[in-house]
């Protein structure tokens, strides 16, 4: 009779124990898969052009896309082909830009048309013209409604954002121009070139609820804070800005920038055309066209105090900020770190040409979806105080 050695018995027993353990393990019946890692957020800057009058030398025609986290390098151009042009096929002035993440749509207005673009495909979905022209519009947070000013005429068109159809109109007789939706979507702020009053519309009824002011001159670019308590507005003939109380309707402060030369800027006809508030509401940035500067103010005190000025490569006419507030974009096509106030990038297109535009905003993507969008206006985002 053959006898197994003690070592052989131990080895057989160990193998049986290992086999039984594997059979009883849940992993033996079904291998668990590791979920795929979430892809990184891609932050892109969408720049509509011609975004300074109808000047094609600052970026040509179309929507230019830049990679914010890769030194603002040029990514691609969304061609508008025959969109946003006159009867001769010449591109005309872009007046505004807005977008919505839920509907993944981007809108560009010219002096005559509103153009709708799918952010996922870069396809132009539709273009509509309006009898009195178009100006700088604003979209509701849910992406359902657009307030579109007629081109310095007497009214705002209230649109169905899905197809651009007019649902109603608000007549103010103020030479309609700039439009800002409150971040909570409850109100819309309407400023005209012919009035020192800011009109406030109820976003549910689309009726005028009140006016703010009067300010010392006609209102130009403006911004509001997150809880709808304050408005900061450029006005004609002022290098600086004025502040209004959105609750009482009264003008509170006039902040004038001193210590720099005064002169006529190349565009817009007013010394300061461009104002933005960082999302955390700690800073106000103001354009100075004649001196080619941005002036930064500490907004934690009232009235805000000038802290620093930054020289630019051209005359600014607009300011907006990244969604996280770390970057400010004047219309000169430069990116400024909002903490250090250092210029960190300058936009150039696929030909190496310097790009400038007053109509730009951030769009963030993740896993093939639109995650978030910014706004062409530098609005405050602090809603609880």
pLDDT tens-digit profile of 219-267? 999 999 999 999 999 999 999 999 999 999 999 999 999 999 999 999 9
HSE value, Cβ hemisphere, 13 Å, CA-based, for 34: 3
CA 142 to CA 127: how far, in whole Å?
A: 21
> Does the residue 30 lie in any domain?
no
Q: How many domains does the chain have?
A: 1
pLDDT tens-place string over residues 101-158: 999 999 999 999 999 999 999 999 999 999 999 999 999 999 999 999 999 999 999 9
Cβ contacts of residue 187 below 8 Å, gap of 6+? 181, 200, 201, 202, 203, 209, 228
Q: How many Å apart are CA 168 and CA 156, to the nearest integer?
A: 9
Q: Under 8 Å CB-to-CB from 164, ≥6 apart: which residues? A: 114, 116, 126, 128, 146
Kindly state whether residue 105 falls inside one of the protein's structural domains: yes
Tokens of 83: 């969109």
Asked whether residue 9 is assigned to any structural domain, the reply reads no
Supply the pLDDT for residue 192. 98
Is 153 part of a structural domain of the chain? yes
pTM of the complete model beyond 0.95: no
Inside any domain, residue 311:
yes
317 found inside a domain: yes
Q: State the chain's mean pLDDT as an integer.
A: 92
Q: What's the CATH code of the domain at 77?
A: 2.130.10.10
More confident residue, 3 or 272: 272
Residue 88: pLDDT over 90: yes
Within a domain: 384? no
> Which token pair is 4?
């197994």
Phi-psi region of 235 (alpha: psi -120 to 50; beta: other; left: phi over 0): beta
- On whether the CB atoms of residues 317 and 268 are closer than 8 A, the answer is yes
Query: Is the backbone peptide bond immediately before 50 cis, with ω within 30 degrees of 0?
Result: yes
Has residue 65 got a pLDDT over 50? yes
Is 323 within the bounds of a domain? yes
Domain region containing 93? 42-373
The answer to whether 225 and 251 are in contact (CB under 8 A) is no
CA 325 remoteness from chain centre: 11
């Amino acid at each position: 009779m053959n006898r197994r050695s003690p070592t052989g018995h131990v080895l057989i027993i160990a193998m049986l124990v290992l086999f039984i353990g594997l059979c009883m393990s849940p992993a033996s019946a079904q291998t668990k898969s590791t979920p795929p890692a979430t892809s990184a957020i891609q932050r892109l800057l969408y720049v509509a052009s011609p975004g300074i009058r109808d000047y094609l030398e600052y970026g040509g025609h179309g929507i230019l896309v830049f990679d914010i986290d890769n030194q603002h390098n040029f990514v691609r151009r969304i061609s508008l082909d025959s969109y946003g042009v006159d009867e001769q096929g010449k591109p005309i002035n872009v007046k505004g830009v807005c977008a919505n993440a839920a509907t993944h749509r981007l809108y560009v207005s010219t002096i005559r048309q509103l153009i709708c673009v799918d952010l996922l495909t870069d396809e132009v979905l539709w273009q509509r013209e309006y009898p009195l022209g178009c100006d700088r519009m604003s979209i509701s947070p849910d992406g359902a409604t657009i307030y579109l000013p007629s081109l310095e005429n007497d009214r705002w068109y209230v649109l169905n954002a899905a197809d651009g159809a007019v649902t109603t109109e608000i007549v103010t007789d103020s030479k309609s121009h700039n439009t800002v939706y409150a971040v909570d979507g409850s109100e819309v702020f309407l400023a005209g070139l012919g009035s020192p009053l800011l009109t406030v519309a109820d976003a549910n009824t689309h009726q005028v609820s009140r006016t703010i002011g009067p300010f010392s001159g006609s209102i130009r670019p403006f911004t509001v804070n997150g809880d709808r308590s304050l408005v900061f507005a450029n006005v004609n003939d002022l290098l600086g800005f004025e502040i209004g109380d959105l609750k009482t309707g009264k003008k509170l402060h006039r902040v004038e920038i001193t210590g720099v030369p005064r002169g006529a800027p190349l565009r817009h006809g007013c010394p300061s055309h461009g104002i933005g508030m960082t999302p955390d509401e700690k800073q106000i940035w103001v354009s100075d066209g004649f001196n080619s500067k941005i002036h930064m103010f500490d907004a934690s005190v009232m009235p805000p105090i000038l802290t620093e000025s930054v020289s630019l490569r051209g005359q600014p006419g607009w300011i907006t900020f990244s969604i996280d507030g770390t970057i400010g974009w004047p219309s000169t096509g430069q990116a400024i770190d909002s903490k250090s106030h250092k210029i960190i990038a300058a936009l150039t297109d696929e030909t190496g040409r310097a790009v400038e535009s007053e109509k730009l905003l951030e769009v963030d993507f993740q896993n093939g979806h639109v995650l978030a969008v910014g706004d062409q206006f530098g609005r405050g985002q602090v809603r609880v105080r």
